[in-house]
Amino acid sequence: MALIRITSPHVHKPTSTAGIMRLVILATLPGILAMTFFFGWGTLINIVWASALAITFEALCIRARNRPLSFYLRDNSAILTAVLIALALPPFAPWWLTAVAVFVAIVIAKQLYGGIGQNPFNPAMVAYALVLISFPVEMTRWTAPFMLYGEGWNILAFTDTFSLIFGSWVEHADAFTSATPLDEMRHRGGLTTEEAWRASDVLANVGAWHAVSAAYAMGGVLLLYKKIFSWHTPAAFLLSLGGIATFFYIISPDTYADPFFHLTVGGTMLGAFFIATDPVSSATSNKGKIWFGIGIGSLIYIIRTWGNYPDAVAFSILLMNLAAPFIDQYTQPRAYGHKASKRGMKEKI
Amino acid sequence: MSKIFAFHGGIHPPENKKQSTRAPIRLAPVPEQLTIPIQQHIGAPAKPCVHVGEQVLKGQMIAEAQGRISVSIHASSSGTITDISPQSVPHPSGLEAPCISIKTDGQDQWIPHQGLADYRSLPPLELINYIRNHGIAGMGGAGFPTDVKLHLGDDHIVNTLIINAAECEPYITADDMLIRERAEQIVGGIEVINYLLNPTHILIGIEDNKAHAIRVLEDALRHTKLNIDIVVVPTKYPSGGEKQLVRLLTGVEVPSGRIPADVGIVCQNIGTVAAINQAVHHGTPLISRIVTVTGGAVGKPQNLEALIGTPINDLLETAQVNHNTLSRLVMGGPMMGFTIEDDAIPIIKTSNCIIAAVKEEMPPAPPSQACIRCGLCEQACPAELLPQQLFWFSKSREFEKAKHHNLFDCIECGACSYVCPSNIPLVQYYRFAKNEIRDEEAEQRKSDQARQRFEARQARLEQAVLDKEIRRKERAAQAAKTQAAKKASSETAAQTPEDNIKQLKTAAAITRTKLKKALSALEAAKADSSDNIAQLDLQYKQAEHAAEEAQKALELAESGIQAPATSVAPDIKQLKTQAAVARTKLKKAQQALKIAEDKGHDGADTLRATVAQLEEKSVAAQLVFANAETDAASSSSSNPLPALKESTDKALGTFKKAEAALETAIANSSPAAEKMKAGVEKLKAKYTEALAAQEAAETLSAPKATEAPAQSFEPQPTARTPADLKALKQNVSIMRTKLKKTETLLASAEADSEQAGELQQEIVRLTQLHKDAKAQLDAEEEGKIKAAAAQGIDLKKLKIDAALARAAVTKLERSIKKAQEAEPAELNALQTELLAAQQQATQFNNTLSQFE
Ligand code: SF4
Ligand code: SF4
């Protein structure tokens, strides 16, 4: 009997980082389904394409950094990043756009910082922000929900979609693309919101977006239930965005979109449940997470309403990622048996 | 039912408790060999009181408690002591520790023992000692001596007694089974503790997964008059942690770095309670305990009542262990227990569980991955720390930051490690960091101490050298004095004391000048950091000493001439010192106490006691001193008025001081306040007495008092001799220095009102003397100047010339020195110049001295 000395604890919860990542990926399924239902095969094709690229890039980097390959590849984190990028990009994004985004996310935003757990910014959002700035034309052209065409469910055939993404995109693109509701709202000219709602086709079909948001929220609630993340970030995020939107909507309903619109279009739900909750780049303590969420929610509203970009989830999250270490320093929890929580990094003298 | 206050975090590991609760508690067989460590508790190890070869009976004390925090150890069975030597003991470190080995004789024969017929008739202290002598230490956690927890002193008011039956660690069921089968023992034990601590609430905290035990306990509590609440808490690890349980049951948090007693709470493990019962009612010391033997590798998981010292292997065999599948042997629970490699290790008072685990139960930890900052650890931490941050800081050895993030509030419960998806051994990191910090601090302390020791030694050596020198000088001075005295008595028997004083004065003045010279030389040397400072320093000290000697001799002589020295009771000074010493001691102790209190140190109680004692002593000393002083003052009614006045002032000062002290004492609600009050009253009476005496004396001796200063002014006769201008000058300077000295003394003594009065008077006297001496000097000088003018010499001018000449000499001397180093050619010229200058200077001086 060879007994060895091991210090406590001797038991371990059967969780693993890979398992958590897998669960998060699974939680995106409702969103993926909804996207596919309303916007066609493009989302699925993009997810597969992005994942393949992500694994390749990740493997190359791990090899280059002389780390054990399978040990790190097994943590599923690259695939999660790829899925999130694919969901954030327009469904008919050309193949190279996805490739650039995945490269930026995996190689630059993650591995160059030291791999999993070390990245100060959410890799998917770094990638998204970069391609949004670099390729505004491709990025702002979304597919109109297929619900628009004909009667019933009538989406572009899989093969057509495939060739659209990997073939000559530019010629065919215009046939299928349209602006997003947020674009419409933003660039509505002198119209009041009321007039915009009546005038715009896109806005008339906003239901598709609502549905997709609801699907994301479902997945998010599942993760919340599974205690993968705590309620603090998403709740603070959504409540602050909703609260500010309500405030301005009450002041002037003609100028400002209603809070429901803000919460259910664009990347709000995806951001609240899948991006802002990314633990690596967010604040640590529960108190900190609340400030983090409030920051994101407020920034989204500010940029959407007064900024240059119609949607702002990526920018807001990146900005708050930047602030997370600072927030951490000032939001240490009050430890048991202490009167007050401590601040900063050192004892004050 | 009581309210429950949830604590943050916590985890729900698989319980694995059912396995070992199916069978009743069984007695483990008496092993052939018992190995009993002499330290099974926190504190000082017990001291063996048996020798090898001695026959011992079951229950006989074999090692005696020593020190405040310690408990006794008893033989678990009858037999022969075979060995007292270091053996493997159950400790996470795996180190060996002294044990007493007993070869059992199989008789298991008890030493005569008997419980207390009525423990309530015993004074609490005796009962506590009884418990200590029966070897009772905490049986749940670290093994803290129970008697210490029961003897908290008066400054800890216990309002809540918490009996810890939570038993939150997986696998362990020892307490559960104890309650199920022996609930009456627990009730009995609680009654004993209740007698000792007299708490207002008694709460039993128990997890809701022990339904059976709760029922039994409820039944048992019907038989007691005490009002005991069973608080059922939700099953969650680590609700049985002392701090967590305190929060769960009372909503109070034990302040960081403190013990529950500081917030009026005492926690006792339920097993300990039963052990107290057994000791008090049956006289059986703590020689056995219930141990859960469980795990996948034992065939019959169960609870065994095992003798302290039984090798683990015996228990494992009783529970039918399968050695082939056994992969890890854990003593304690899976969350906080430690592994053991040697199954000959004995059971001790704190061993509540042995887990013989198979590989699947406790698989080797998978390689840890990077922290993904998921925050699960934070959600699990019952101490509300940021385990993740602590991990980063520990890993990067940023211990300052780790400390700032409350590393030392981590209870090492393992909850964070348990939940970490990346399998990071977080607790191990914290243990590492804590040890590093402790080591660093110990290192720091050690070097500090070493430095202090070195400095103290250095100072001591220097002092020794000085003392030696001074003693030598003293002896020399003594010899010289006796010589001089002899000479004086033989040569001029008729020499007046005035003459003697004159001589002494000159001597004093000379030594003083020497002293000054030495001082300035020393300072100069210091300024250019010359290396003969030490030497100069010595010289200076010597000079100082000599000056003092001379001064003393002078004063002695003076006081001899003056009116008989004021008769002061000789022991007053001594008493004063004593009082002062007592005061300082008190102050020191108070400071120590404060520090200790701030740090929540265990020793605070003892310190407090010491302070109270010292306070009393100080007050007593002060009183004695004041009495003696005022007595001395008032008893010598023949004293002149100033003395009376002085004594009145003194009495007033002491009285005022005592009053102030009393006030602070009352403010601090010090126990000595009563005594002090009495003392203050007394002093007041004394003061009024003294005042009355003074007034009486004043009215009586008014004319005498006015004459007094004139009489005490002594240098007058000497001034009559006209040639003694120099002596007069010196006289003046002496007076001036004396005055200055006293003045500075006064300034420093201002706070000490007693002395200040004295000094004030001294100053007045000295000022007067100084003035007179000055006046005399002026008069003499005037005469000289006039005489000189008659001869056509301007004395002032002469003086200046002399000074100039002297300056020229020094200047030349300096340039010669320089020249010696640089330009030897010029040396000759300079030397001749110097000679001339010197001559001139001497001439001037001579002329001058003629007129002085
Ligand atoms: S081991 Fe320390 S840091 Fe980890 S959960 Fe327990 S108390 Fe918190
Ligand atoms: S649980 Fe582990 S991986 Fe998650 S934050 Fe804590 S240390 Fe990092």
pLDDT band at B600 (very low <50, low <70, confident <90, very high): low
Evaluate if residue B745 carries a pLDDT over 70: no
Q: Give the pairing type, strands B55-56 and B79-88.
A: antiparallel
> What whole-number distance in Å separates Cα of residue B207 and Cα of residue A127?
50
Regarding the beta carbon of B385 and ligand 1, being less than 6 Å apart is answered yes
* Residue with CA at minimum distance from ligand 2 atom 4: B374
Domain encompassing residue A80: 17-178
Evaluate if residue B670 carries a pLDDT over 60: no
For residue B623 the two structure tokens come to 């009183």
Mean pLDDT for chain A overall:
83
Chain-centroid distance, C-alpha A276: 7
pLDDT band at B598 (very low <50, low <70, confident <90, very high): low
Do the domain assignments include residue A139? yes
pLDDT tens digits, B510-559: 777 777 776 776 666 666 655 555 665 666 677 677 667 767 766 666 66
pLDDT band at B567 (very low <50, low <70, confident <90, very high): very low
B489 touches A at CB < 8 Å: no
* For residues A254-281, average pLDDT: 87
Rg of chain A on CA atoms, in Å: 22
- What single string gives the DSSP state of each residue in A256-325? S--HHHHHHSTTHHHIIIIITT-TTTS--SHHHHHHHHHHHHHHHHHHHHHSSSS--HHHHHHHHHHHHH
Of B355, B369, B423, the CB nearest to A12: B423
| Chain A residue at shortest CA distance from B8 | A336
> What whole-number distance in Å separates Cα of residue B273 and Cα of residue A334?
34
Rounded to the nearest whole angstrom, what is the distance from the C-alpha of residue B141 to the centroid of ligand 2?
A: 28
Q: Which residue has the higher pLDDT, B124 or A107?
A: A107
Regarding the beta carbon of B371 and ligand 2, being less than 6 Å apart is answered yes
Do the domain assignments include residue A330? no
Q: Which residue has the higher pLDDT, B426 or B157?
A: B426
For residue B372 the two structure tokens come to 């993904």
Residues of chain B with CATH 1.20.120: 713-852
User: Is B388 in contact with A11 (Cβ distance < 8 A)?
Assistant: no
The SS3 of residue A255 is coil
Do the domain assignments include residue A159? yes
Contact B181, B27 (CB under 8 A): no
Residue B75 main-chain phi, psi, to 5 deg:
-70, 135
Evaluate if residue B341 carries a pLDDT over 90: no
* For residues A14-36, average pLDDT: 90
Do the domain assignments include residue A338? no
| Chain B residue at shortest CA distance from A330 | B405
| Chain B residue at shortest CA distance from A280 | B373
Do the domain assignments include residue A79? yes
Query: No. of H helices and E strands in chain A?
Result: 19, 2
Per mean pLDDT, which of A152-161, B776-785, B820-829 is the most reliable?
A: B776-785
pLDDT tens digits, B647-664: 667 667 766 766 776 666
Mean pLDDT for chain B overall:
78
Q: What is the pLDDT of residue B532?
A: 58
Q: Which residue has the higher pLDDT, B554 or B209?
A: B209
Half-sphere exposure for B186 (CA within 13 Å, toward CB): 31
Evaluate if residue A239 carries a pLDDT over 90: yes
Evaluate if residue B717 carries a pLDDT over 70: no
Distance (Å) of CA A284 to CA A18, A333, B112, B377, B438: 20, 10, 63, 10, 28
Q: Which of B351, B341, B291 is nearest to B94 (CA)?
A: B341
Regarding the beta carbon of B386 and ligand 2, being less than 6 Å apart is answered no
> What whole-number distance in Å separates Cα of residue B261 and Cα of residue B254?
9
For residue A335 the two structure tokens come to 């430890």
Do the domain assignments include residue A39? yes
Tokens 């491709």 appear where? A138
What length is written for chain B? 852
Rounded to the nearest whole angstrom, what is the distance from the C-alpha of residue B390 to the centroid of ligand 1?
A: 10
pLDDT tens digits, A176-228: 666 677 777 776 666 677 777 776 666 667 778 888 899 999 999 999 998 88
> What whole-number distance in Å separates Cα of residue B351 and Cα of residue B348?
5
> What whole-number distance in Å separates Cα of residue B353 and Cα of residue B347?
9
Regarding the beta carbon of B424 and ligand 1, being less than 6 Å apart is answered no
- % of chain B exceeding 70 in pLDDT: 68
Evaluate if residue B139 carries a pLDDT over 50: yes
Q: Which residue has the higher pLDDT, B686 or B79?
A: B79
> What whole-number distance in Å separates Cα of residue B643 and Cα of residue B654?
16
Domain count, chain A: 1
- % of chain B exceeding 90 in pLDDT: 20
- Return all residues near B617 (Cβ < 8 A) that are at least 6 apart: B582, B585, B586
> What whole-number distance in Å separates Cα of residue B448 and Cα of residue B207?
49
Rounded to the nearest whole angstrom, what is the distance from the C-alpha of residue A346 to the centroid of ligand 1?
A: 21
Do the domain assignments include residue A66? yes
- Identify the residue among A67, A336, A349 best suited for mutation to test binding to B, counting B beta carbons within 10 A and taking the highest: A336
How near does any CA of chain A get to the CA of B449, in Å? 24
* For residues B707-716, average pLDDT: 42
Q: Which CATH architecture has domain B713-852?
A: Up-down Bundle (1.20)
For residue A29 the two structure tokens come to 């399924």
Contact B252, B103 (CB under 8 A): no
The fold for domain B18-354 equals Rossmann fold (3.40.50)
pLDDT band at B573 (very low <50, low <70, confident <90, very high): low
Of A6, A7, A17, the CB nearest to B372: A17
pLDDT band at B80 (very low <50, low <70, confident <90, very high): very high
> What whole-number distance in Å separates Cα of residue A162 and Cα of residue A45?
7
Rounded to the nearest whole angstrom, what is the distance from the C-alpha of residue A329 to the centroid of ligand 1?
A: 20
